[in-house]
Amino acid sequence: MSVWKACDLRGVFPRDVSADLYRRIGRAVATQRAVGARVLVAGDFRLSTPELKGALIAGLSISGAHVLDAGQIPTPIAYFTHGRLRTDAVLIVTASHNPPDHNGLKLMVDHFPPSPGEIQELRAATERGEFRDAAGTVENVDLSGEYCAWIRRRWASIRPEMRVVLDAGNGAASVIGPGLFESLGFRVERLFCEIDGRFSNRPPDSAVAANLTALCAKVRETGAHLGIAWDGDGDRVAFVDESGSVASADEMAVLLVRHLAPSAQGRRVVYDLKLSDMVRREAERAGLVPCMERSGHAFIKSRMIRERCVLGCEASGHYFFDELDGGDDGMFGALLVADMVARSGALGELRRTVPPVFMTPDIRLRGGELTFAEAAARLRGLPGIVAEVTIDGLRVETADGFILIRNSVTETALTLRMEGRDAASLARLRSACRSALPEIPAHLIGA
């Protein structure tokens, strides 16, 4: 399994990602740019991050880069620092939502995430080893205080008459996230808000509802108005309503569309093709222009930047905003939703206004059991197909709804997802998938 994914790196430390690899990546990045290019480096709080980050800085500096070391911080603050200092590139050592024994690398060159082709160019340069020898420099930078001051100014008019439970999962947002909410006047209950690179209390993936059981219980126990959970590096966010029920990414996308639409008529909204088709319908109903995009942070962010879209929504809990120059920020997104709830009513009440969704979660088939090409060929043979979408894997659409099969962006696996127009339609889609793809255990596809 390669650590080089579509737009970043992910792997198990030290089996897949090592200090030697990161040193070579640093040398390759510096060699691809002019001597003295300003490269920002940051990292999350995984146990392996200091070693990998140090190796990355060493590689950059011996190949002529001017390194700005931002330390270990949430990923949104790294992006903020990159924008404020106008650095030539930013490299963030993080595995985001992946398990504790993983690490990885997120990067941007200028103001865009890398394309799959650019990632492969970096991989080739790293493996080729034709590095420049040149003296570089390293300096420390810390814009965390400036970031917090900006957040407080942005949300100075927020009406925080509410109790919130904040679950940082022992990740990068553990200190700064609750501090921001408290400084704005919220009554904060902290849950797993001590930095711990082992993620001792829950997995770092906040998009999995099963990982939020403690947050749901704490919301009910404290009578909080809202529960908020961040992932390992603080750029994803999930929400729990006042009853202790997890809000789906589909519901949150619809609510954000409605919230932003009055001041954004005619603007574009980017949505992950894994999200419910309800997001498209609601965007059109609200006077916005929906744009389906390939699933993955880099693809949605690039589309946001290129087309100055007002909002981007990903099924995994990344939310992107034109106000952030197309970027995403779990803390900014959390405050936007808290403000929406303060102004518009309880999240549970808002959720009840969203039409029901008849959709499966991601059904994962580990690599080797069935190839994408074979699965796609069989799905194309299903009767009643009225349209195909191929921007990311294959999405076949029928009168009943859609079936999506694609390669995972972050792991070696196929993912399958279906949405029906109603319960009966979804049942028919499930039946069609069981017939076409018998390699997938029937209990995963469902009745």
Q: What amino acid positions are annotated as catalytic residues?
A: 10, 96, 318
Q: Are 264 and 233 contacting, i.e. CB atoms less than 8 angstroms apart? A: no
Strand order in the sheet with 311-313: 289-293, 268-272, 311-313, 319-321
| C-alpha–C-alpha distance, residues 249 and 316, integer Å | 7
- Sign, CA dihedral 257-420-213-237, equals negative
Beta strands in 263-366 (DSSP E): 268-272, 289-293, 311-313, 319-321, 358-359, 363-366
Distance CA 319, CA 304 (A): 11
Proportion of the chain in helix, strand, coil states, percent, rounded to 5? 40, 25, 40
What is the spatial distance between Cα 136 and Cα 274, in angstroms, rounded to a whole number?
A: 43
Give CA–CA dist 65/87, Å, rounded. 11
Report d(CA 404, CA 274) in Å as an integer: 8
Q: Pairing between strand 89-93 and 38-43?
A: parallel
Cα–Cα nearest to 167, from 121, 122, 209, 109: 209
**C-alpha triplet 202, 208, 209: angle, nearest 5°:** 90
Cα 398 vs. chain centroid, distance in angstroms? 29
Residue for token pair 């793809």: 437
Classify residue 63 by its DSSP letter.
B
